[in-house]
Amino acid sequence: MMILKMKKEDLPAFLDSVKEWGELWGPVKKGEKVTYAKVDALSQMDLKATRTIIPPKKFLYPQRFTMFDFDQDGYVERKGDVPKRILFGIHPCDIHGILIMDKLFLENYKDPYYAERREKTLILGHSCIPDDKCMCIATNTDFIAEGFDLFFTDLKMFYLVWVGSTKGHDLVRMRPDLFSRDLDKNDILNYTEYRKWKTAQFKSNVDFTGMPDVFELGYNSPVWDQLGDKCLSCGQCTMVCPTCNCYNQVDEVELGSLEGTRDRFWDSCMFREYSLVAGGHNFRDKRADRLRLWYTHKLQAYIGEFGKPACVGCGRCVATCPVDINVVTVSTALKEQEVGK
């Protein structure tokens, strides 16, 4: 892969130039939290922020959108109105999340709605500083080698810039004067030093090793009922999870007409209706059943299928769940057979 070097003071000018390709979006402070917003310049962004409330999946797969317009003659695909966007400041865990989404939506029946947004969204990654909730080191997602167009690693005086796609290279070609290929011994030393430093920052000591077996053994564990008693079924964990893809769809009809739209919107396996079938049979009626589905998917089933968890260690469930149910507390409860307070 092509790795280039850029002086740190040149980043504002570079981002200013790439706006010619599309809208520039980045992490911006909103009250106490951070969220992605459309910006004009680097100065509006908060690059020190660890995590946004919602992961960047919302750009590739909006919370609600129209798939089809219909009338009596049939269904017509809703096309267009997808802006070209450049997302700056995406962290390795979230790019790993996007790769998991790519696998689901782009392989085996390609989803044209996701594909169009993925095509029109450039991912400009940025290195990050882990906080006490980050656990990407336990999911092996603390560094990233693909899935981005450009990736900026902050080495204090300058950036090392990984060029991950032809489109990323096109952005570089807009301002070739800002990049250099002269990498020397010091750059390598600085980079290895940075990796060591980052690895030393993690405070979480969660360990997912052996989780598939622990889940299998703990299928009937009373721990699930205890967690189910705490769970509010609010679904926030699924909304903030970078690898949660479930959706529902509904036909909206104009009152008194036969025309309408078929809309798709985020669903949550924490909701009671999630596994309900016609006639009233519910395959997952209890909150414990639904919690077990979610955590089994993230930490057992996905590992069995793809050799890695469907958790990228971003810490959003840890930061979000109002009753402290998250990948850390659930995996610990299963291993220790006790739900922590």
Partner 1 sequence: MKKMCVVLDDREVQDNPFQPDMWRIVRKYPLTGDVNFFQARPVDVDEALKFNFVPGQFIMMSVMGEGEAPFCVSSSPSRPGLLEFCIRKMGTMTESLFALKENQTLGIRGPYGNGFPIEKMEGKDIMIVGGGMGVAPLRSLLLYILDNRDKFGNVTYLHGARTPGDMLFREEFLQLKERDDLRCLLTVDKDDTGMWKDKIGVVTTLFKDLGPIDAKNTVAAVCGPPIMYKFVMDYVVKLGIPKHQILMTLERRMKCGVGKCGHCAIEYLYTCIDGPVFSWWDVIHMKELIGRGANDKTIA
CB of 302 to partner 1, least distance (A): 7
Query: What are the CA-CA distances from residue 172 to residues 6, 149, 181, 278 (Å)?
Result: 11, 10, 12, 54
Nearer to partner 1, 53 or 67 (CB): 67
Q: How far is the CB of 209 from partner 1 (least distance, A)?
A: 19
Residue 204, CB-side half-sphere exposure with 13 Å CA sphere: 21
Q: Which is nearer to partner 1, 198 or 297 (CB)?
A: 297
Helix, strand, coil % over all residues of the chain, rounded to 5: 40, 20, 40
Shortest distance in whole angstroms from residue 79 CB to partner 1: 10
Nearest Cα residue to 214 out of 288, 303, 281, 127: 303
Query: Which CB atom, from 26 or from 309, has the smaller least distance to partner 1?
Result: 309
Compare residues 186 and 220 and give the one whose CB is closer to partner 1. 220
Q: How far is the CB of 224 from partner 1 (least distance, A)?
A: 8
**With contact defined as beta carbons under 8 Å apart, do 294 and 224 qualify?**
no
Residue 5 pairs in a beta bridge with: 160, 180
Q: How far is the CB of 271 from partner 1 (least distance, A)?
A: 11
Nearest to partner 1 of 297, 316 (CB atom)? 297
Residue for token pair 């909730």? 133
- Residue placing its CB nearer to partner 1 in the complex, 47 or 301: 301
CA 166 to chain centre: 23
Distance in Å, CB of 182 to partner 1, minimum = 22
In a 10 Å sphere around its CB, with 0-12 CB exposed, 13-18 middle and 19+ buried, how is residue 112 labelled? exposed
R_g (Cα) of the chain, nearest Å: 22
Kindly list the residues in this chain that would bind partner 1 in the complex (CB under 8 A): 1, 67-68, 70, 72-75, 77, 104-105, 108-112, 145-146, 219-220, 224, 245-251, 253, 258, 260, 262, 267, 269, 274-279, 283, 288-289, 293, 296-297, 300-302, 304-305
